[in-house]
Amino acid sequence: MKRLKRYAYEKYAILCQLAYLKDSELIADFGHFEQVEILDRFHKSCVRIVWQKHKKEVVVVFRGSHNVYDWLFNLCAFKKRYRDQNRKFDIHWGMHNLLKQPSFVSDSSEKLPLGIRIQNVLIPLMKEGKRVTFTGHSTGGSLAVLFADRFYQLPNVKVKRVVTFGQPSCGGQLFYRNYSLHHKTYRICCDVDIVTFLPPLPFIYRHVGKSLWLHEGVMFENISPSKRLWLSIKSWLLRPITYHYMQKYIRNKSLFDER
């Protein structure tokens, strides 16, 4: 598995952050991109597909939970079993259904399931020789993983990578075993982000791909969930003491430059 370079990390992180902004705030940021905005059943932005004509990459950005409907589906943590060609899966029922929710685009009243809508936008871009990256934050990261695996099974599809931020788990052992993009998936966790431990059902849900845990200025690769949980708890307990360390004062030196 290739390393995720810093410029790529920054690009996907910024795109995920921009996905939460209002349309009026996005004009300057997305002005140099071609894009398709996909709306959920409430006609709110839930997915943005962005690319540049002279670039070979198209990026699908899944927005995280942003309404009560999304959160209710997040809580539906029982597993859905289904077959995809010759593969068996056990995935989060709620997230499976979020990909099936009705979706719209701004210039049409046609209603299509979200997964079908995304696929219809991407297929023509794939025919132009573009490769696709899937990214998302929180629940959006889980949807990115689920959709990327399904889309990868289509003919003539090239997936560049899958990059998620603060993603809860979306499948069990069967999904882990049959997931086809382990070698291209980067799951980024930051410090004590509790969402990355959800659903809180050990041995029932399992993450896929390569984990990159950013903690106390260090990147840990593929650290076990139990060890990550212990180090997180240890960090909580020792935090009042660590704030006394001189390195904390050095890290905040930029605040004086701004005055």
CA atoms within 13 A on the CB side of 90: 13
- Looking at the predicted structure, is the pLDDT value of residue 259 above 90? no
Give pLDDT, residue 175. Answer: 95
CA–CA distance, 142 with 170 (Å, rounded to integer)? 6
Model confidence at 42: pLDDT above 70:
yes
Check the CA dihedral 29-219-139-185 and report its sign.
positive
**Per-residue pLDDT tens digits for 136-188:** 999 999 999 999 999 999 999 999 999 999 999 999 999 999 999 999 999 99
Quote the pLDDT of residue 27. 47
Instruction: Give the other-Cβ count within 10 Å of 4's Cβ.
Output: 16
pLDDT tens for 202-241 read: 789 999 999 998 887 788 899 888 888 888 888 778 777 7
Greater pLDDT, 249 or 33: 33
Which of the pair, 253 or 20, is modelled with greater confidence? Answer: 20
Q: Where are the domains of the chain?
A: 6-222, 224-259
Average model confidence (pLDDT) for the chain? 87
* Residue 24 pLDDT grade (very low, low, confident, very high; cuts 50, 70, 90): very low
Percent of the chain at pLDDT exceeding 90: 50
For residue 219, which phi and psi values (nearest 5 degrees)? -105, 120
CATH of domain 6-222: 3.40.50.1820
- Cα distance between the two ends of the chain: 44
Give the span between the Cα atoms of 99 and 107, in whole angstroms: 21
Report the pLDDT value the prediction gives residue 120, as an integer from 0 to 100: 95
Q: Is the pLDDT of residue 31 over 70?
A: no
- Write down the pLDDT at residue 252: 60
pLDDT value for 124: 95
Question: In the chain, where does DSSP find H-type helix?
Answer: 6-18, 23-30, 68-75, 93-98, 114-127, 139-151, 173-178, 225-242, 246-251, 254-257
